[in-house]
Structures are given as structure tokens and as C-alpha cells.
Amino acid sequence: MQQTLTSTPTSLTPLPVPQRVINQIVTAALAEDNPRGDLTGNVLIPAHIQATAAVIAREPGICAGLETFIAAMKLTDPALELVAALADGDAFAKGDTLITVTGPARGLLAGERVGLNLLQRLSGIATATAAFVKEAAGTKARIVDTRKTTPGLRALERYAVRCGGGHNHRDNLSDAVMAKDNHLALLGTGEELTAALLAARAQLGHTTHFEVEIDSLTQLDAVLAAGIDTIMLDNFTLEDLATGVARINGTALVEASGNVKLDTVASIAATGVDVISSGALTHSVRALDLGLDIRIETPTP
């Protein structure tokens, strides 16, 4: 089904990634792609040649990652000048210009691949997220990502989720307590599980969030008795999700996870859950088709 996307469905500007983090990621990517200079550009393109290029959308989507593209160009050649035609979180149509670059042709060509790779991937994540958010519209459910991100790119990929109108789960293992199925398998059941969760809670500061994942309604009473902040209902049927929401009855946030796809997310949201998490937003998203069209500005003498 063809999706019609709009700009970020929120009145808030997506919280940006610090420039130093962008520069660290992009610098590493440039070092990988251009370790000893661009051999092709250096032997084919005279140093004095100036050029202008435009990033053109080959398909519609939601923009994310303009600052990473700018960093790829400026860190390659500070003489390059860039002008963005829209902002991260904005929708664009096929054929739209996202950003233009003017300056030394060698630098433009050397930074092109890294800049496009990041912009395409991040815009793909934002576009996919916006489609999920649209499906959940009219419910209270937030669409959130997971830790299933590309190693080294988490800060950027989570930013792209925000550009698409989604929200972020915990950023890393130090952010919050999240007891998953493998943790619970070591803690027992019933009163034993409740006691273990209460003992863990006693070690935490009052600002630390505590989440527990369950895969059966039979575990719910033991977790509820521990006063947990968020209860994740993992791979539940729609009927069991609705039952879980009713039994929790506002005493904890309810998160749904598992089997979250574009054609299932609306039904999941309709059960009344507070949060819907999907690893697919980052771990298996398709990069958007964006191209860089270049033209010469200074003719060869």
C-alpha cells in the first residue's frame, strides 16, 4: 500500500545530535573510505575545477541527517559551501532538492559517498518511522526504537527515529533497568520473582526507570506486585494485549513488542498500550534512494 507521508507529526523540533558526536562518526567513516586521498579524483580532476552538486530525491520520504552530509563535505574540504533546501523532519517529494554543494570538485567527489550513505540511511529510518506513527495516529501509543542499531551509528539512527515522529527507548545498558526473558529465567516465578524485583529496586536511585518484559499473562501478577514502572508484553496476541492493559489498569506503563509491522501496528495501538517498540525501524530499514547530480562551474583552461 502506497504511504502518503507528512512532516514530523510533532510540534517539537527533533532533539539534535551534538556536533562533536557527528564529527566523530563522520571522521571515522571518511578515514575508512578515503585513507590516503581519493586516487581517482586526484589523477582525473584538476585541482582548480569548481563544481556545484545537488542531492535529489529519487522517491518521496522524510529527511534526516542533513548535518551528517554537511559534516562529510566540510571535513573533506572546508572550502565547500552547502545550502539545505529543507530541515530534518520535513517531508519531500520525488524530484525535490534536499541540499546543494558548491566548491572544489575534488573535495565534493571525495566526500560524496560517505555523505550520501548516511543521509540515505537516516532518511530511510525517518521515513519508515513516520509510516508507523501514521498508522498509530488517534491512539495514545508512542512508536519507539530499540537497541537493535548499527554499531557506532546509534546516536544518528535514534535521531532519525525522532525526525520521523517516533521516540527513543533506553539508549544503552546503563540508562535503565530492563529485565528481559533471560534475566527472569534466572529469578524464579511467583513470590520468588516479586522478591527478586523488589530487591533490585531497593538498590536503585529514585530517578532510575525499571522495566520488566513478560511473555505470558501468568507472569503479570508477580511483576505487578513489585511496583514496576513499565511492563513489556512481548509477542502477545491482540486479545492478551487488551487483557494485560486492563489488568495493569494504569499502575504501570504498558509496552507492546514483537510482531510489530506496518500492517499490524494499528491493531496493536488500538489495544490501549502506551508504547510500541520495533527493532525494524533501525535494524532492517531500507535506505532511501537519493542521488547527487553534479555540474562543472569552472571550465578547464
3-state secondary structure at position 277: strand
Active site residue 213: yes
158 backbone dihedrals φ, ψ, rounded to 5°: -70, -35
148 exposure class (CB count in 10 Å sphere: 0-12, 13-18, 19+)? middle
What is the 8-class DSSP label of residue 252?
S
Catalytic residue among 147, 170, 180, 201: 180
Q: Could you tell me which residues are beta bridge partners of residue 254?
A: 231
180 is catalytic: yes
- Cell numbers describing residue 300: 578547464
Residue 147 among the catalytic residues = no
CB atoms within 10 A of CB 283: 14
Q: 148 an active-site residue? A: yes
**Can 140 be counted among the known catalytic residues?**
no
Task: Choose, from 113, 147, 170, 247, the residue flagged as catalytic.
Answer: 113
DSSP 158-193: HHHHHHTT-B---SSTTT-EEE-HHHHTTT-SHHHH
Pick the catalytic residue from 77, 171, 215, 234.
Answer: 234
Report whether 161 contacts 124 (CB < 8 A). Answer: no
Provide the CA 30 distance to its chain's centre, in angstroms: 22
The active-site residue out of 33, 77, 96, 148 is: 148
State how far the Cα of 154 lies from the Cα of 15, in Å rounded to an integer. Answer: 14
The Cα–Cα gap between 197 and 190 comes to 11
Closest CA to 130 of 266, 290, 6, 1: 6
Q: Which of 88, 157, 213, 274 is catalytic?
A: 213
Q: Which residues are catalytic?
A: 113, 148, 180, 213, 234
